[in-house]
Amino acid sequence: MKIFAGLIKVGFIYCGVALPGIALSQAELSIITYVYDTSTKGEVKAEIGQLRVLENRRRPDSRRIDLVFVRLAGTPGAKGPPIVYLSGGPGGSGINAGEGSRYRLFEALRASGDVILLDQRGTGRSTGIEPEDCPEEASYPLDHPLELKSYLAMVEKNALFCRKFWRDHGVDLDAYTTMDSVADLEALRVALEVDQLDLIGISYGSHLALACLRQHPKRVRRIIFAGTEGPDHTEKLPAQFDAQLDNLQALIDTDDSKARIDVRKLIGDVLDVLKTTPFTLRITDVEGPDQETSG
């Protein structure tokens, strides 16, 4: 198990309050032609844009940062508003997401409107400095049982190192919150001179999309969700996992077409076997060579 504590993973804070004094008028947009290299369709014509905004909108003296995105033009006849893709994590790169098998999805969406693959603040090309990742890497030994105390100590050491790394590079970690990214989306909409945006969010991206809808309900036309996580559903406690297992068991028990399965017993049996008999699993990777993973 490896932990990479980059800017977004250390500095991002989930919050659901509005930002005072959003300086949308100070955003500056530039877009140029770009050749976007995908693995499924090769090189395609696109545009790359930079939206320059205040890093911390609550501080008038804040530095400016660039939010970078790739725009795939809608196909002839497309009449919908721009569709902004919001990656998960937080920490995923929207631009990188289109460089693999997911590009087929974005290609299809172009029939509805322009597709914007956004690197949210603190991710991908929107980190503002090089290197984009904190150089500290923490690896939990795979030949040792996972123990909460030692694991948390490793994570804390890693996080404190990376917090210092980003602050030493002039990054204002207080400015990397969900609501800061909501303000970025609104600034992008204003800069593009459109009345509304369509959003497609996966995992944390759905969390961000819903926060945007909550803050700007008239500025979002449609949202597509995958791996949905609501604005108030970020904390994942053991009791929540237990509740989901209970829900799953209840569904199984009411389905007469399926063989009766005791979910908890099945999971327990699998874990008991893995404790004494690790195995090797071959995984087919549609974006690269097969890989072997020991469990």
Q: Which two tokens stand for residue 235?
A: 């904390």
| C-beta atoms surrounding 236 within 10 Å | 10
- In whole angstroms, give the CA distance from residue 282 to residue 103: 25
Residue 13 in this model has a pLDDT that exceeds 60: no
When pLDDT is cut at 50, 70 and 90, the band that residue 14 belongs to is very low
Q: Out of 31-35, 174-178, 226-230, pick the least confident.
A: 226-230
Catalogue all structural domains in the chain, each as residue range(s) with its CATH number. 2-226 (3.40.50.12270), 238-294 (no CATH)
When pLDDT is cut at 50, 70 and 90, the band that residue 22 belongs to is very low
Q: What is the pLDDT of residue 57?
A: 92
How many whole angstroms from its chain centre is CA 250?
A: 31
Q: What is the pLDDT of residue 279?
A: 76
145-196 per-position pLDDT tens digit: 778 888 889 989 988 998 899 899 889 999 999 999 999 999 999 999 999 9
Q: Out of 26-40, 76-90, 167-181, pick the least confident.
A: 26-40
Please count the helices (runs of H) and the strands (runs of E) in the chain.
Answer: 8, 11
Q: What is the pLDDT of residue 81?
A: 94
Q: What is the pLDDT of residue 85?
A: 96
Q: What is the pLDDT of residue 289?
A: 55
What single-letter amino acid sits at 69?
A: F
- In whole angstroms, give the CA distance from residue 252 to residue 260: 7
- What is the 3 state secondary structure string of 130-158? CCCCCCCEEECCCCCCCCHHHHHHHHHHH
Q: Out of 76-80, 112-116, 143-147, 250-254, pick the least confident.
A: 143-147
DSSP 3-state assignment of 286? coil
When pLDDT is cut at 50, 70 and 90, the band that residue 130 belongs to is low
The single-letter DSSP state of residue 233 is: -
When pLDDT is cut at 50, 70 and 90, the band that residue 280 belongs to is confident
Q: What is the pLDDT of residue 291?
A: 53
When pLDDT is cut at 50, 70 and 90, the band that residue 129 belongs to is low
Q: Which two tokens stand for residue 56?
A: 């911390």
- In whole angstroms, give the CA distance from residue 124 to residue 8: 10
Contact predicate 194/170, CB 8 Å: no
Contact predicate 203/227, CB 8 Å: yes
Q: Which two tokens stand for residue 174?
A: 């207080």
When pLDDT is cut at 50, 70 and 90, the band that residue 240 belongs to is confident
What is the mean pLDDT of the segment spanning 238-257?
82
Residue 138 in this model has a pLDDT that exceeds 80: no
From residue 167, alpha-carbon distances to 6, 170, 173, 223 in Å are 12, 5, 7, 35
Q: What is the pLDDT of residue 205?
A: 92
Contact predicate 43/109, CB 8 Å: no
